[in-house]
Amino acid sequence: MKIPFVDLHSQYLSIKSEIDSAIAEVIAQSAYIRGPRVEEFENAWASTLGVKHCVSCANGTDALYIAMRGLGVMPGDEVITTAHSWISTSETITQAGARVVFCDTDYDTFNIDPKLIESKITSRTVGIIPVHLYGQPCEMDAIMAIAQKHSLWIIEDCAQAHLARYKGRLVGTFGNAATFSFYPGKNLGAYGDAGCLVTGDDQLADWTATFARHGGKGEHVMEGINSRLDGLQAAILLAKLPHLRSWTESRRRVAALYTKSLASLTHIETPFVAPECEHAFHLYVIRTDRRDDLKRQLAEASVSTSLNYPKALPFYPAYAYLNHQEKDFPVAYSNQSRILSLPIYPEISGAMINHVCEKMAESLQRIPTTASVRVEATSALS
């Protein structure tokens, strides 16, 4: 049995007629750039979340950049974000003109550790970008309290967390703005690049929509950028949106099955889910000290896995200029050699999950026990 890491084609087949007719309609109308479907999707996504405004754009990275520009980020400003994310979160801080300030993560959740944020705040700090990594909501009560106390803005990076909830409330509804990616592999994915920001702030919505479309149509009130959602992507997202709830529930069932099946394996830590949270399980990430051997043996058994991400952000060459050391981010650093993402998507079957778990059990038996010495050493670190 071959288990891919993601399987976008089987999802397409499950809703083929809806997708095909949505695409045909856009082509029939030649409504390629913006057009009725784009506005319809913006309204549908805003109402799904219960937020006032959705400003669509070309991708989730642009959404972060546009949101920061809209919040008035200036050269010399500092923005705090997590040491463990996809680089979009930090590269856009630099693009917006500010300085990236990384913060270590909480061991259980993989998310920014609220207990460490205040130690990163200086007179130049203007905002915080928490990332709901892998679909696990951040500790928003603590983060919002810090933002309020220090008058900082919050942009939630929700690229991996569509329909995740913190204390019953959808992520993306806490901050001054929140950004989403609809990259094909995300929980709600287009068939190309797509993204948006959402906000309850009328002025921010207005400014960002103008900025993303060349500073205004007809009258250019400013210089902007070209970051648009195209009509085909909007139509595809609209066709998929009614299924998102059940797809998210399927992801949670897949995760629960993995966690139950892997419980008896030693050397494997399954993901923690905070009791006050509903995880969206964009990724199912285990930790093990036998990561590299396990990944290789699973690949040999035709089970694809992934590393999200191979390194914590401060340790990539892109951030060498910050001169960080491993001890600056001990949790994120220890995770980078131990995390392993298992295949997860709504269409993966119970039989496939069982197969992955069996192959993991077999592999672990084959890996020499010398690795167990390292297990104890690393868990003592954390």
CB of 186 to ligand PLP, least distance (A): 6
CB of 194 to ligand PLP, least distance (A): 7
- The one segment of 56-64, 253-261, 289-297, 347-355 that binds ligand PLP by CB under 6 A: 56-64
- The one segment of 57-65, 200-208, 221-229, 360-368 that binds ligand PLP by CB under 6 A: 57-65
CB of 95 to ligand PLP, least distance (A): 12
* 3-state class (DSSP) for residue 285: strand
Using alpha carbons, list the distances in angstroms from residue 141 to 138, 214, 268: 9, 37, 30
Task: Tell me: does residue 284 bind ligand PLP (CB under 6 A).
Answer: no
CB of 286 to ligand PLP, least distance (A): 19
Closer to ligand PLP by CB, 105 or 261: give it.
105
CB of 196 to ligand PLP, least distance (A): 10
Task: Tell me: does residue 160 bind ligand PLP (CB under 6 A).
Answer: yes
Instruction: Show the CA angle centred on residue 148, arms to residues 142 and 153, nearest 5°.
Output: 100
CB of 180 to ligand PLP, least distance (A): 8
Relative to beta strand 169-170, strand 284-287 is unpaired
Task: Tell me: does residue 90 bind ligand PLP (CB under 6 A).
Answer: no
Q: What is d(CA 204, CA 279) in angstroms, rounded to the nearest whole number?
A: 28
Could you give phi then psi for residue 28, rounded to 5 degrees?
-60, -35
Relative to beta strand 125-129, strand 99-103 is unpaired
Q: What is d(CA 11, CA 345) in angstroms, rounded to the nearest whole number?
A: 9
Residue 293: how many other CB atoms lie within 10 Å: 16
**Positions 110 through 139 that interact with ligand PLP (CB under 6 A):** 131
Q: What is d(CA 44, CA 42) in angstroms, rounded to the nearest whole number?
A: 6
The residues near 226 (Cβ < 8 Å, ≥ 6 apart) are: 58, 212, 213, 214
Closer to ligand PLP by CB, 11 or 181: give it.
181
Q: What is d(CA 56, CA 146) in angstroms, rounded to the nearest whole number?
A: 29
Question: How many residues belong to the site for ligand PLP (CB under 6 A)?
Answer: 15
Using alpha carbons, list the distances in angstroms from residue 58 to 94, 211, 222: 19, 13, 19
Choice from 106, 156, 157, 278 touching ligand PLP (CB under 6 A): 157
Task: Tell me: does residue 234 bind ligand PLP (CB under 6 A).
Answer: no
**Positions 164 through 203 that interact with ligand PLP (CB under 6 A):** 181, 183, 193, 195
| Burial per residue of 129-158, b for 16 or more beta-carbon CB atoms within 10 angstroms, e otherwise | bbbbbbbbbbbbeebbebbeeeebbbbbbb
Choice from 45, 56, 60, 129 touching ligand PLP (CB under 6 A): 60
Cβ atoms 1, 302 nearer than 8 A: yes
CB of 85 to ligand PLP, least distance (A): 5
Task: Tell me: does residue 341 bind ligand PLP (CB under 6 A).
Answer: no
Cβ atoms 91, 118 nearer than 8 A: no
Sheet containing strand 165-166, strands side by side: 169-170, 165-166, 277-278
* 3-state class (DSSP) for residue 306: strand
Choice from 19, 57, 67, 159 touching ligand PLP (CB under 6 A): 159
Task: Tell me: does residue 61 bind ligand PLP (CB under 6 A).
Answer: yes
**Which residue type does 106 have?**
D
- The one segment of 5-13, 85-93, 289-297, 345-353 that binds ligand PLP by CB under 6 A: 85-93
Task: Tell me: does residue 105 bind ligand PLP (CB under 6 A).
Answer: no
Closer to ligand PLP by CB, 227 or 297: give it.
227
CB of 272 to ligand PLP, least distance (A): 19
Task: Tell me: does residue 81 bind ligand PLP (CB under 6 A).
Answer: no
Interacting residues with ligand PLP (CB under 6 A): 59-61, 85-86, 88-89, 131, 157, 159-160, 181, 183, 193, 195
